[in-house]
A and B are shown apart, each in its own frame.
Chain A
Amino acid sequence: MKKTLIASAALCLMTANVQAQDKPRSTIAQSLTPPALSQQRVTDGLIEFPLPKGEEKYRAIDGKKIHQYVVDLANISLSYRDAGHPKFWGRIIGTESDRQTEEYLAGKFRAAGLSDVRIQHLDLPPQWIPQSWDVALSAGGKTIHLNSAQPDYDAKPLPQGGVDLDAVYAGLGTEADFAGKDVRGRAVFVYSQLGAPDEGAVKRAADKGAAVVFEVSMLPGNMRYQAYPSGTDAPAFTVGNDDGAAAREMLAAGPVKAHVTLDIQKVPNLKTALVWGTLPGQTDETIYITAHKDGWFEGASDNAGGVASMLGLAEYYAKLPKSQRRRTMIFIGLDGHHNGTDGAVGARWLRANKAKLFAKTALFLNDEHPSTIITQSRPRYYPGDELAWANSYMPLQWYAGGPTRPELQKIAWSAFREFGVPLAMDPSPQPPASDMGFFYRFTPGVDSSEYHSYFHTDWETPEAVPWTGLEATTRAFAKIIDGVNKLPLSALQRPEDNTPLGPYEE
């Protein structure tokens, strides 16, 4: 603590020095490049929720150990990035990083003592892989490159050599922002932020004829954010706040030209995989525990956190005698769902085989983003234009079987509370966006997730995944499994829900 305080005091002094030159972003001790705080400070600063009396058996589920798996998985991403993929990187399906992740997970399953460990390869349709891109703005003889620009997934390529466009500022991208503006054939800049209303700005810009759309996230800093498909013919890019502010200032001063390149390949003949492991139980009734293995950038929360938590559960239950495992537990590292209709082949395979796989399933627990550091964007009166970190974990959105399974909902709510995992007060009517979407209509599903400030960005590093949250959530999941094992299948299974599927679930 003392050391930290001295360090912060020193930083304060440094900041004061910077202040004379330029308005500093921060007058507090956070770093302006990821991570905001060092792992050691975060590890030491976090508040651990005490193990409740009578629940001592869950002590073996150790958040710090689980966090090490998050670090391991983030390192797989980093090695992929450093092997010639500096801009579009992560644990991306079909790539070398996917192979490494499969091997890693299968190895961990074996080490934990799971049986029937296997990697089930699946063919992928051609994959959208951007090869290179650049966004350069010029005015008055000055050119700036927007290095935070990241093409939305599945964006269409631009003609070789790129395009030269007039740039237009369109603010929040509402009808009022476009009134009186001709954006046809132009590069349009719109501004939004997590938490601000969804104004449909990108689609509106494209509908009005934009050639390229730049969607600036106003979250502090200059993060790269990998967005899901924009659903527009015009390619869309996300842009970080600092680059967006620079563009806006340029546009306010006079005419601006944009040079934009985007070279995409659709790469055929790639493979992804499901990674399986089993803990046989006393009966052939089953409990499935899944976590998707893929991630954009380091994907420390999404979904290294989920895979690590799943491993925590596997290791915990592997140590129980088989006689104490009422049901057979099947662990699956899912391929992922980040790739629109060109991904989630594993989830679709599982669903196609549902009659065989899930006939006696008591619980389908999907482990996704279970732990994220609390951040607030520019809290009122906070002395820094930044995402302020606090020493605890974000509440989760959750789903636990829906209103037709009140016992399961109650088990989940009580378990999360008991182990100190805050939740949104009400369960979501459907699982929060995730792999559970494929399964909740025909299995008793539990799913709880978090998608805050760093989601899908290059700031989503292991420091942003608190070991305390990993521990508390994983212990709660174990308690849910044990609670479910006290119920017969009849209390959990329900007729299949035949409501229409979402666009990416088909």
Chain B
Amino acid sequence: MRKTFVCGVSILALAVAGTAFAETAEKPRSTIAQSLTPPALPQARVTDALIEFPLPKGQEKYRSIDGKKMHTYVEQLAKIADRYRDAGHPKFWGRIIGTSGETETNEWLAGKFRAAGLSDVRIQPFDLPPQWMPQNWDVAISAGGQTIHLDSAQPDYDANPLPQGGVDLDAVYAGLGTDADFSGKDVKGKAVFVYSQLGTPDMGAVKRAAAHGAAVVLEVSMLPGNMRYQAYPSGTDAPAFTLGHDDGVKARNMIAAGPVKVHVSLDVQKVPNLKTAMVWGTLPGATDETIYVTAHKDSWFEGASDNSSGVASLLGLAEYFAKVPKAQRHRTMIFVGLDGHHNGSDGGVGRRWMVQNKATLFPKTALFLNVEHPATIFTQTRPRYYPGDEIAWANTAMPLQWYAGGPARPELQSIVWKAFKEFGQPAVFDPSPAPPAGDGGPFFRMLPTVSASEYHSYFHTDWETPEAVPWTGLESATRAYAKVIDEVNKLPLSALQRPEEPQPPQRSQ
């Protein structure tokens, strides 16, 4: 502790000294000790600083669920993503379905299941429809003889490609992208820059720009820094890109000064004949009633929170329950590494297969626990009076949004709320009416589903590194999940199973 502290102080002193020097040249982003490239803070500082919630009295059996151990799994999964990036995929990378990033993940997870002593460990492959794979892109803005490449630009998933050689467009600034911003502006056939931020109102800016005839839409996230953010499909014919804040400011300043030209290229291939997989492992119990524990394996970038943390937590549960004698496991536990859901209608094939086979898989299912983003470092964007234009880290975990069976299963809701509270895992006060976005979606209408998630500042960005996943949060959420499983096992199936709710005609994830 002392060492960390002295180190912190000296970094601070250096930062302050450095800042004073930089100030004459340019306004510094930070007068505090955070890094301006990921991670904001080194792993050792974060590890030492985090506040661990004390194990409650009477719950000593959960001590073996160890946050620091689970965190090493997060690091290993992030490294798989890094290796894929470093093997010739510098811009569109992660543990992406159908790629070697996925294959390595599958083998890794199956190995961990085997090491934990799970039985019937297998990798179940699935054919994928042709996959959207951007091969290359560039966004360059020019004015007055100066050209700037906006390196943070990332095409929204499923964006339509641009003609070979790219397009040259006039740039238009459209601020928040509301009707008032477009009023009196001709954006037809132009490159339109709109600005938003996590937490500000959803103005529907990208769709509005496209509806007004934009040729390309560039959606700037005003979160501090210059993160790359992989967005879900924009649903527009005009390709949309996300942009980091710093690049967005450069573009805005250029546009404010006079006419700006934009050269945009985007080469996309739809790659056929790829395969994804689900990874299975079982812990037989005293009965043929089942508890499913799932976590999706795929990710954008390192995906340390989304969803290395979920896979790591699932492994923490597998290892914990594997050590419990079979006679004490009331129900058979089935662990599934899901393929993922990041790929719009071209992904989610594993869970669709599960839904199709529900009659075989789930007739005696007491709990479907989907582990997704259980631990994220507490961050605040530009807190008031904070001495840095940055995302400030604190030494605890974010609260979770949650769903636990819905109002028709009050006992399950009560079990989950109490377990989170008991193990010090903050949650929003009210359960969501449906599972927060995630793999719980296809299952909650037919199964007693529990799903709790978090999607904060670094979600889907290249800053979502293992440092941003607190071991303390992994520990408290996973211990709470173990307690939920144990409490559910005290209830008969009749207290949990409900008639299937009709699926709505169309639902977006």
Residues of A within 8 A of B (CB): 1-2, 5-6, 8-9, 12, 27-30, 37, 41-42, 45, 47, 49-50, 52, 169, 171-172, 174-177, 179, 191, 193-198, 218, 220, 241, 245, 248-249, 251-253, 374, 376-383, 385, 388-392, 394-395, 397, 403, 406, 409-410, 413-414, 417, 420, 422-430, 432-433, 449, 451-452, 455
Which of A9, A409, A424, A428 lies at the interface centre, i.e. has the most chain B CB atoms within 10 A of its CB? A424
Q: Which of B446-495 contact A (CB under 8 A)?
A: 453, 455-456, 459
Chain B residues near A169 (CB, 8 Å)?
180-181, 183
Nearest to B421 among chain A residues (CB) is A47
- Say yes or no: B33 contacts A193, CB within 8 Å: no
B257 to chain A, nearest CB (A): 8
Chain A residues near B380 (CB, 8 Å)?
195, 394-395, 452
Known A-B contacts A37-B429, A378-B200; the reply to A172 vs B195 at CB < 8 A is yes
Among the listed B257, B399, B407, which residue makes an inter-chain contact with A392, where contact means beta carbons less than 8 Å apart?
B399
Among the listed A2, A382, A420, which residue makes an inter-chain contact with B401, where contact means beta carbons less than 8 Å apart?
A382
Chain B residues near A409 (CB, 8 Å)?
5, 9
The contact sample of 29 A-B pairs, CB cut-off 8 A, is A5-B407, A47-B421, A171-B175, A171-B180, A175-B253, A176-B256, A177-B173, A193-B199, A195-B382, A197-B389, A245-B201, A248-B178, A252-B178, A380-B437, A382-B401, A391-B399, A391-B427, A406-B9, A417-B49, A423-B395, A425-B41, A425-B46, A426-B11, A426-B12, A426-B33, A426-B34, A429-B12, A429-B32, A451-B384
- Say yes or no: A174 contacts B252, CB within 8 Å: yes
Q: Which of B4-61 contact A (CB under 8 A)?
A: 5-6, 8-9, 11-13, 16, 31-34, 41, 45-46, 49, 51, 53-54, 56
B145 to chain A, nearest CB (A): 20
Which of A5, A12, A382, A385 lies at the interface centre, i.e. has the most chain B CB atoms within 10 A of its CB? A5
Chain A residues near B137 (CB, 8 Å)?
none
For the A-B complex, the count of residue pairs with Cβ-Cβ distances under 8 Å equals 240
Complex CA gap A463/B2 in Å reads: 37
Chain A residues near B257 (CB, 8 Å)?
175
Complex CA gap A342/B267 in Å reads: 62
- Say yes or no: A195 contacts B386, CB within 8 Å: no
Complex CA gap A169/B395 in Å reads: 41
- Say yes or no: A397 contacts B383, CB within 8 Å: yes
Chain B residues near A171 (CB, 8 Å)?
175-176, 178, 180-181
A171 to chain B, nearest CB (A): 3
A353 to chain B, nearest CB (A): 27
Q: Which of B387-415 contact A (CB under 8 A)?
A: 387, 389, 392-396, 399, 401, 407, 410, 413-414
B179 within 8 Å of A (CB atoms): yes
Among the listed B8, B199, B256, B413, which residue makes an inter-chain contact with A5, where contact means beta carbons less than 8 Å apart?
B413
Complex CA gap A182/B407 in Å reads: 55
- Say yes or no: B399 contacts A390, CB within 8 Å: yes
B439 to chain A, nearest CB (A): 13
Among the listed B33, B417, B432, which residue makes an inter-chain contact with A28, where contact means beta carbons less than 8 Å apart?
B432
Complex CA gap A15/B109 in Å reads: 43
Chain A residues near B418 (CB, 8 Å)?
1
Complex CA gap A191/B180 in Å reads: 12
B311 to chain A, nearest CB (A): 20
- Say yes or no: A429 contacts B53, CB within 8 Å: no
B433 within 8 Å of A (CB atoms): yes
B222 within 8 Å of A (CB atoms): yes
Tally of chain B residues near chain A (CB < 8 A): 86
Complex CA gap A195/B179 in Å reads: 23
Which of B9, B49, B199, B433 lies at the interface centre, i.e. has the most chain A CB atoms within 10 A of its CB? B199
Known A-B contacts A12-B433, A410-B5; the reply to A390 vs B427 at CB < 8 A is yes
B317 to chain A, nearest CB (A): 22
Nearest to B424 among chain A residues (CB) is A47
- Say yes or no: A429 contacts B16, CB within 8 Å: yes
Among the listed B252, B399, B410, B417, which residue makes an inter-chain contact with A374, where contact means beta carbons less than 8 Å apart?
B399
Complex CA gap A420/B395 in Å reads: 10
B385 within 8 Å of A (CB atoms): yes
- Say yes or no: B407 contacts A12, CB within 8 Å: yes
- Say yes or no: A175 contacts B32, CB within 8 Å: no
- Say yes or no: B386 contacts A424, CB within 8 Å: yes
Chain A residues near B31 (CB, 8 Å)?
429
B324 within 8 Å of A (CB atoms): no
Complex CA gap A377/B383 in Å reads: 13
Among the listed B12, B429, B455, which residue makes an inter-chain contact with A381, where contact means beta carbons less than 8 Å apart?
B455
Complex CA gap A8/B402 in Å reads: 14
A251 to chain B, nearest CB (A): 5
- Say yes or no: A1 contacts B176, CB within 8 Å: no
Known A-B contacts A8-B407, A37-B429, A52-B54; the reply to A193 vs B387 at CB < 8 A is no
B469 to chain A, nearest CB (A): 15
Q: Which of B160-200 contact A (CB under 8 A)?
A: 173, 175-176, 178-181, 183, 195, 197-200
Chain A residues near B56 (CB, 8 Å)?
50
Nearest to A191 among chain B residues (CB) is B176
Complex CA gap A390/B420 in Å reads: 12
- Say yes or no: A425 contacts B49, CB within 8 Å: yes
Complex CA gap A413/B50 in Å reads: 11
Chain A residues near B11 (CB, 8 Å)?
426
B128 within 8 Å of A (CB atoms): no
Known A-B contacts A5-B410, A49-B424, A381-B437; the reply to A249 vs B394 at CB < 8 A is no
Chain A residues near B501 (CB, 8 Å)?
none
Among the listed B179, B413, B437, which residue makes an inter-chain contact with A249, where contact means beta carbons less than 8 Å apart?
B179
Chain A residues near B432 (CB, 8 Å)?
28, 382-383
B1 within 8 Å of A (CB atoms): yes
Nearest to A177 among chain B residues (CB) is B175
- Say yes or no: B429 contacts A380, CB within 8 Å: no
Nearest to A381 among chain B residues (CB) is B437
Chain A residues near B453 (CB, 8 Å)?
381
- Say yes or no: A378 contacts B179, CB within 8 Å: no
CB-based closest 4 A-B pairs = A395-B394, A390-B399, A171-B175, A422-B396
B341 to chain A, nearest CB (A): 13
- Say yes or no: B199 contacts A395, CB within 8 Å: no
Known A-B contacts A196-B197, A429-B31; the reply to A1 vs B8 at CB < 8 A is no
- Say yes or no: A193 contacts B455, CB within 8 Å: no
Chain A residues near B320 (CB, 8 Å)?
none
- Say yes or no: A422 contacts B394, CB within 8 Å: yes
B76 within 8 Å of A (CB atoms): no
Known A30-B429, A171-B181, A374-B399; further 10 A-B contacts with Cβ < 8 A: A175-B252, A191-B176, A245-B201, A376-B399, A377-B199, A390-B427, A413-B5, A424-B393, A425-B8, A433-B385
A401 to chain B, nearest CB (A): 11
Chain A residues near B428 (CB, 8 Å)?
28, 379, 382, 388-391
Known A-B contacts A176-B255, A195-B382, A391-B399; the reply to A381 vs B393 at CB < 8 A is no
- Say yes or no: B1 contacts A414, CB within 8 Å: yes
B244 within 8 Å of A (CB atoms): no
Complex CA gap A37/B389 in Å reads: 32
Which of B6, B33, B255, B426 lies at the interface centre, i.e. has the most chain A CB atoms within 10 A of its CB? B426
B297 within 8 Å of A (CB atoms): no
Chain B residues near A191 (CB, 8 Å)?
176
Nearest to A53 among chain B residues (CB) is B54
Chain B residues near A2 (CB, 8 Å)?
410, 414
Chain A residues near B399 (CB, 8 Å)?
374, 376, 390-392
B86 within 8 Å of A (CB atoms): no
Among the listed A218, A422, A455, which residue makes an inter-chain contact with B201, where contact means beta carbons less than 8 Å apart?
A218
Nearest to A430 among chain B residues (CB) is B387
Nearest to B174 among chain A residues (CB) is A171
Among the listed A249, A391, A420, A426, which residue makes an inter-chain contact with B8, where contact means beta carbons less than 8 Å apart?
A426
Complex CA gap A377/B256 in Å reads: 30
- Say yes or no: B179 contacts A252, CB within 8 Å: yes
- Say yes or no: B429 contacts A41, CB within 8 Å: yes
Among the listed A252, A378, A391, A410, which residue makes an inter-chain contact with B199, where contact means beta carbons less than 8 Å apart?
A378
B316 within 8 Å of A (CB atoms): no
Chain B residues near A385 (CB, 8 Å)?
201
Complex CA gap A429/B224 in Å reads: 20
- Say yes or no: B395 contacts A425, CB within 8 Å: yes
